[in-house]
Amino acid sequence: MTSVHQKKYRSARNKFLAEGDKLVLEAMRSKADIREIFALESWKGCQEAERLGIPLTLINEKELDQICELKNPKEAVAEIAMPKNVNSGRILKGKWNIYMDRLRDPGNLGTVLRIADWFGMDQVICSPDSVEGYNQKVIQASMGAIFRVPIISMEAEELIAQCKANEIPMFATAMSDKDISGVKAGNEGLLLMGNEAQGLSEILLRAADERISIKGKGSAESLNVAVAAGILMHWIYSS
């Protein structure tokens, strides 16, 4: 079971771990495809797991520590099957999509998932060279959003081709004179978010229909990518 701590084994087995009682309870509430739960006898979710027919194995604290990546896991860990569409997908027509280009920080991706969940975005699309979506740090930072918002992996070329074929406008976040306060989001589109240090790749900048920016009044050089994603999703769903 500890083999799924490594990306290659997660991908091969199509499973990942949710560590900690809050995340496991959230996985049950979200109807995630839980294959098995390992928990202390004192865990408050034992009866609910049994009621739902989820295989439950009672273990001691030492065994729990051995299973988990977290230094101080709390009471339970669940082995969960990845959604079938984790490795490929499509741009959603008539809705808004977000694409994370070469995102490196797991905390940022987890936070983007949480924000997407808040606003009701149906999926988050990542470039294949972004941080892996089922990294334990991503899962923890998502605060349960990982169970409700699918992560799709897609190459930039395929992304652009789908948008062009379906006439879905692409909005690139970049240094631009076009502030979002003067732009109407519309009913559908693809929001392109770039790497924390380097921004968007040139192929995406060239393909974008619009370049938009968030204008500030202070002295900060830039915004954290997850913070920017939150502001832009608010723009999308409120304009």
Which residues pair with residue 172 across a beta bridge? 192, 211
Claim: this prediction has a pTM higher than 0.85: yes
Q: Distances in Å between the alpha carbon of 85 and those of 18, 90, 125? A: 19, 9, 11
Structural domains of the chain, with CATH: 2-81 (3.30.1330.30), 96-238 (3.40.1280.10)
Strand segments (E) across the chain: 15-19, 34-39, 56-58, 76-81, 96-100, 124-126, 151-153, 170-173, 189-193, 210-212
φ, ψ of residue 16 in degrees (nearest 5): -145, 170
Taking only the tens of pLDDT, the chain with its 239 residues reads 555 677 765 777 789 999 999 999 999 999 999 999 999 999 999 999 999 999 999 999 999 998 898 877 689 999 999 887 654 578 899 999 999 999 999 999 999 999 999 999 999 999 999 999 999 999 999 999 999 999 999 999 999 999 999 999 999 998 777 899 889 999 999 999 999 888 999 999 999 999 999 988 887 777 899 999 999 999 999 97
